Each structure stands twice: as structure tokens, then as C-alpha cells.
Structure 1
Amino acid sequence: MNNFEKYIKEHNESEMHPAELAKLLKNLNDHDFSEAIKRVPNDLVGDVALALPDRYFDDVVENLSIDELSHAVSELESDDQLEFMQELEDVDENKASEVFHSLDAEDKHEISELKKYDENQAGAYMQLEVFTANENEIVQDVIKRFAKLRKANELENVQNLFIVDKHNKLLYTIGLDDLLIFDFSKTIKENKVLSDESFDSKIAVDTEDIKEVVNYFKEYDLSVIPVINKHGVLLGRITSDDIYDIINEHATEQMYNLAGVDDEAEEDEDVIKAGKKRAYWLAINLVTAIAASLVIGMFESTINSMVALAVLMPIVASMGGNAGTQSLTVIVRQLALGEITKGDAFRSIKKEVAISLMNGFIFAILIGIIAYLWFKIPMLGVVIGLSMIINLFMAGFFGAVIPLALKWLKIDPAIGSTVILTTVTDVVGFFSFLGLAKVILL
């Protein structure tokens, strides 16, 4: 008996958690996975499928019927329904169409509404299921209504009550914990005046950039945020679990981009597709490597006259590349976290240059001594030391400037930064070292 079978046997459906089921399913081979996914309770299949890495979604679709997939979608909250259907469309458009048309009218309407938004807009990430009340409702009636909806499983993860007017315009928000200490016999409006326990949270507009909404959650320590349209009408809510996913996806995307890898292609099992994406950046890197080689070719006679130069030259370029990558990574991450504004960009550049220069002097002395002891040529240590200072200075400067410039041009700072930086540090490293050697040593 494997761990999945043991878990299924020992827990009833109400005790099972989608994340735990997904973790157990990932440890199964293809055959066992195909059998196991059929044993996941129908009400949990949708959540389990979304909790699994994308590469497993094909297997889920292959092993479930249209009716089972339709039921899985119907059990999800509206934002998860949209995500499930989008992944299903990527796998099999015909099957996705069949599943969509088999859903009830309300589910189809909600999915269609969310599909209207671009993937970078707040509206694309909201849940349409919200708990609302009118200011003039008695608190006791509101609580009874909430209890009824919760028992019917029509609401999940509710932390806030949204107070709206008769036109569904959002007035303010009340935390459920505050609601519980209100006078149950009075209206919400009367309680608000008497105890002032209600609060106004940050509000997101449906067309707002989702990155701005992520910043709201971080800056104001939110667990949920209401989403309104330009007229102030309440449309839905965005919860912290969706924000965690967005942060994780963005961090993964940045990490891949820094390495010249496409995140969407890497999540796909298609080797050719991923290979093509990687080949694109490798081709660019080949061009930049040729540029660095051309610099070396300019000093061919210099290198031929002193073999020590060929031995030491990669050290300067390598140190510059690593120092530049350190600065680049720090700046890209700070930009992603919103820690660098237009006003303090110069401060960031100055800091990275200072750190690189400090390390440049330290390692210039160290490599200078090593070069002298190794080849017994005093001025060779001076040459490589000066070159180290120059290259690390340029590495720190361009490591900070490149992502800031890309950000100013409204390009993702992570895309292409590493390739550009490597070219700069290689060319500067080789040119400064060999150029100084030609002037000082020969």
C-alpha cells in the first residue's frame, strides 16, 4: 500500500486537504497516478489539479470524463474556475469547450466575466463570491444570513463584510471579528456610529495593475481587498492566497529571465519548445562571446609575447562577471519589491559602485601579489591589479544601471540583463588588462 492509498483509507472526504493529496500524487509513477487521480473525491479534484505542477494537468484531463471535469470546475471558486478552464484550454480546446457548455448558467457567466480582463489587471484575479450587507440591516439578521450561506458552502474564506448601498456601491468594510462585538439588536449603521469599530480598507479598481495590488497587500498587511469598477460598484475580492501565488510566479519568472530562460516554456513538457527558447538566448550569448574574442584578437601580438597574460586574463573577466551579477541581482530584486523609486536610483548606483570598488581594491592587491609570486614579474601584478579595479568598477556600475535603464524603458529588468552585463564585463576586462599590459609591460 503506497502513501496515497493509506491517506485515502485513513481519512474521510471532509478531513482531506487538496495540498496533501497533491503532494502524495506527485510521488507516484505515471500508471499509479492515472489510477489514483480517479480515486480523489469529486469535490476535491479541481483544487487538487490546481495544486499540482502544471505538467500534471494533462494527466488529470486524460483520466477524467467531461462530467467529472465539469463537476470539478463547479466546485471551485470563481477565480479558480477561470484558472482551471484556461489550463484546460491549453491542453485540449475541444474538451474545454464541452466542459464550459456543460456548466450551469451562473458558472458560465462568472467565467466569462473574469475572462474580459487582461492577465495583468486586478479583475482577472478576483473572486466574484462576496458577502455584502446594507447599512440599515440588523446585525443579528446579517449574522444569520452569513451562517446560512456558510452552511450551504456558498462562501469560503470570508474575513470581511462589505457594506454597500442599494446600487451595490461599496461604502466601507467591516471585519467579521468587529461585527461579533456589535450590538446585535441594532443596525450596522447605528453600531458604526456608536462604537466606530468598522474600518475602511484599501480598495482595488478592477483595471488596476495587479502588481500595484500586490504592493497594497504588503504595505497594508491585508488578507483581502475589495475590487470595484470605476463607478465604485463592488465586483469581487482578491484574497491573500492569490497574492502569494502571484508573488511566487513573479519571483520564478525573474529567476528564469536572469538565466535567459522562458518560464512558460520550462513549465511545458515539450523539449523542442523549451530548447528553442533557450537556444535564442544562447545565440545572443554566442554573438557577445565573439565580440569579447575580437577584443582579445586585437592584442594577439601582446599575448604571444607574454604567455602569462593568457593565463591570467580569464581571472579579470570572471571576477567582473561575478561582481556584476551580484549588483544586477540586488537591483532587480529591489525593483521587484518596489524598494527603489525614481528619486533614489542614483543612491542605488552609488552604493553598488562603492561596494564593487571596495572589493576591486581588495582583490587587486590579492591577485597582484599572486601574479608576482607566480610569474616573478613585478609590473604584471600592477597591471592585473589595475585591470581588476577598472573591471569591478564597471561591473558595479553597469550591474546597477542596466536594470534601472530597462525599467525606465518599461522592459522587465530581468530580461536580457545578464547577457548585456556579461558582454560589458568581458570586453572591459580583456581590453583593460591587455591594453595596460601593452602599455606598461611591452
Structure 2
Amino acid sequence: MHSIKEIINHSPRAKRKLFSLLPPELQAETTILLSRKSKKTILRQLGNLTVARFLHFNFDDDAADILQYFSKKKREQILGNLQPQKKGNIKKLLKYGSETAGGLMDLDFIIVKDTDSLADIKSRAREYFSLKKVPVVVVGDNNGKILGFLPIHKLITSPFSESAGAHVKHLPLVDADLDQEEIIKHIEKRQAITGVMDGADFVGIIHIEDLAKIPQGEATEDIYSFAGVHKEEEVSDSIATSIRLRYKWLMLNLLTALAAAFVVGVFKDTISSFVILAAYMPVVAGMGGNAGIQTLAVVVRGIALGDVTFQNSRRILMKEILANAANGVIIGVLVGLIAYFWNANPMLGLILFVSVIVNLFIAGLFGTIIPLSLKFLKIDPALAASVFVTAATDIFGFFVFLGLARIFLM
């Protein structure tokens, strides 16, 4: 199945034709595995009946995700070709965004009272068993409050006369509109399922295997954001597509690079008098940039996991500044000694020592402040942060290094 997915994803012009060769059962499985771009390319070229035919084989939550790629009008036309029960289930799921708890949940559950006998519950579950499905048995009280869930094996191993309340297990609950990134924070360790609430109503179940897909997708988006690459770009894209998706980001990068070049231009007389400075400029800027990206990666991950908040941001900022400054002392000593012995210039070694410490201090400062500022502005902290952090370390690194050189070497 994965080989079929790879072939279609990496086919530049024959995606729909290859997809059409598959039987509906395989189309259903393959569609879920395809990249977002391949889905868009293929689905918009398929007829309503073709889509409805393979959606019949998809789980309801997967079918709802696929239908998100269509306009509202076309979605209704496709739904009109589905069986009434499946159509009703999918409509319930489409109420929620695809990246929310409601969009991740499935509807294979039954709600029972804590006073119901296991014999009665097993009888209700037979409908699911006949469809080769295993429902989650959610247990509530007479007032409709959710108490937990009944492990399905209890329907086999426990006496049928016992009530559900005797075997209820804790079930974490999340709101249906909760963003998928936030869901993981609410999940308890070793908990295989999570319940979904819409107000006071229990509406669905999220399984651990559905949650496992979230970090991979979010990690891919964060990596793309760090690198300045559009999240829909693929290795099989044409040259023109890659150019279109990248050039705007490169233009932003050009502006920051020109700012650093302007700083260097201010000290052109200093550089022309001491040409050896040009050899060490990439060292100062590079060490600062690398340290800034390290800090940025740690802080962005902390924000995503909820470990970094505005309440503890001052402590995080001080920790990152001090850690980077300490690393600056270590690296600065090494670079200073190299300059001293290589160029026989103690003052150049001292200037490099101070410049590296200051630039790594800047790296810790901006590597923390920039993602926190983006979070405050409700912008994804991974987006564009790396460009601004490296710009800060380049500009300040060059300014400090060349400024000290002008003062002490001229």
C-alpha cells in the first residue's frame, strides 16, 4: 500500500490516471495515505459517484477528512450518494474542523448506564461485532454525567449479571473544538482512548493511533517553517512550482542579509586596513547563528508542549542567556587562542573572545524573545523565527566585532 502511495505521490502528471486504475477498496486506503497536494490534484478531477463509491469503504472519520477537500456544494452532492447511516455520521463529523478533537474522533461507541448489566451491554454491542467493529462502551450515570468507560474484555471475562459500574475505568475528556496540538497535553500516560464532549453531550472517541499522526504532521510543518519552505511543496514538484513557493521567503531573507551587509559596509575602512578581520567575520556570525537556532529550537518545542509560557518566560530567558554566554566563553577562548597563535596578535584574540561572548548572548536573547513575541501576536512561533534570529546574530555580531576592531586596532 505504501509503495502505491509513493508511486502516485511522485508521479508529476499521471496521479489521477494511476489512482483510477485501483479498485474502490484500494482507493479508500490509498487516499488516506496520499500527500495533501496529491489529494487535491486527484479529488478535484473525480466524479461524485466515484468518490462516493470508495468513501463507502472508509471509516467515517477518514471519509469526513477527505470531504474537507471539496466545496460545500460538491460535498453535499457526494453525500447524497451515500447510505443514510454513513451520511448521517459523516455530517456529524463535518461540523468540526479537521484539525480539532471533533475532526479526529470516530463514532464507534455506545453509551450505557452504570446500572446496566453486562448481558444487556453485550446485546447492544452485537450490532458492531457483526460489522467487525469493536465499540467503546462509555459509562454514564442517571443524570447523564460521564463516569468513564468499560473495558471491552469485561463483556467476556466477567459474569453477565454484574453491572457496568463495577468495572468502569477513567476516561479523559476533551472539548470537541480543542486544537489537535492541544489534545496531546490533555492525554494521560498509558491512556489508549479519549472522550470528546460538545458542551454537555458526549459525541465521540479519539484513539491513540489517531493521536500518533499529529506529532508527525506538526513536526513536518515546523521543519518546513524553519527552513522557509511551503508546507505543500513536495520533492516531485516542477521547477516552476518550487520557484513560486520559495522566492518570497528568499526575498525576506535577502532583506535581512542586506541589513547585515550595510553594517559591514560601515566598517569598510577598518576591514581594508586589517584584511585578516574578513577571515574571522564568518566565525563570529556563524557561531552566533548556530547558538541562536539551538535556543530557538528548544523554546519553540517548549511552547508547543506547554512548558514555556509567558508566566515563566523570564526564567527561561535568563537561563538561555546565561547558557549561551557560558558557551561563548568556551568558544571565545578557543577562537582567541587560535587568533593569538596563528596571527601573533593578542589584541585580535581578545577582540574575538569578547565578540563571540556578546554574540552568543545576543543569540540567547533573540532566540527566546522572537518566538515568544510571535506567540503573543498569535503567529506560529516556528514561522520565520529562524530568519530573524540569524539576522540579529549577523548584524550584532558584525557590529560588535568590527566596532571593537576599529577602536582597538586602528
TM-score normalised to the size of structure 2?
A: 0.88
TM-fit CA distance, 1:300: 1.4
* Deviation readout 1:40-83 (Å, 9 max, x if unpaired): 55334312221233344367659976544312112222210111
Q: Distance in 1 between matches of 2:288 and 2:261?
A: 16
Q: Distance in 1 between matches of 2:127 and 2:384?
A: 54
Aligned ranges for residues 193-204 of structure 1 at < 5 Å? 197-204=167-174
- The residue number in structure 2 matching 1:133 is 112
- The residue number in structure 2 matching 1:145 is 124
Q: What is the number of equivalent residue pairs in this alignment?
A: 408
Query: Is 1:226 matched with 2:195?
Result: yes
- The residue number in structure 1 matching 2:275 is 307
- Change in CA separation of 1:415 and 1:268 when aligned onto 2, cut-off 3 Å: farther
TM-fit CA distance, 1:325: 0.7
> 2:16·2:45 contact (CA, 8 Å) conserved in 1?
yes
- The residue number in structure 2 matching 1:83 is 65
* Deviation readout 1:360-410 (Å, 9 max, x if unpaired): 112212111222233322211111111111111111222122212322333
- The residue number in structure 1 matching 2:164 is 188
Q: Distance in 1 between matches of 2:109 and 2:235?
A: 33
Query: Is 1:124 matched with 2:103?
Result: yes
Secondary structure of 1:263 counterpart: coil
Instruction: Give the counterpart letter for 1:279 in structure 2.
Output: Y
* Deviation readout 1:119-164 (Å, 9 max, x if unpaired): 44322222123233233432123223324422223x35x4x31124
- The residue number in structure 1 matching 2:82 is 103
> 2:284·2:398 contact (CA, 8 Å) conserved in 1?
yes
Q: Distance in 1 between matches of 2:161 and 2:100?
A: 41
TM-fit CA distance, 1:38: 5.5
- The residue number in structure 2 matching 1:261 is 229
* Deviation readout 1:324-377 (Å, 9 max, x if unpaired): 111111111122122224443233223322321222112212111222233322
TM-fit CA distance, 1:167: 8.4
For the aligned residue pairs, the C-alpha RMSD in angstroms reads: 3.0
Query: Is 1:324 matched with 2:292?
Result: yes
- The residue number in structure 1 matching 2:52 is 70
Secondary structure of 1:131 counterpart: strand
- Change in CA separation of 1:413 and 1:25 when aligned onto 2, cut-off 3 Å: closer
Percent identity over the alignment?
32
Q: Distance in 1 between matches of 2:127 and 2:87?
A: 24
Instruction: Give the counterpart letter for 1:23 in structure 2.
Output: S
Q: Distance in 2 between matches of 1:372 and 1:41?
A: 72
Secondary structure of 1:76 counterpart: coil
Q: Distance in 2 between matches of 1:22 and 1:61?
A: 19
TM-fit CA distance, 1:181: 4.0
Instruction: Give the counterpart letter for 1:78 in structure 2.
Output: D
Gaps of 5+ in 1: 1-20
Q: Distance in 1 between matches of 2:256 and 2:103?
A: 40
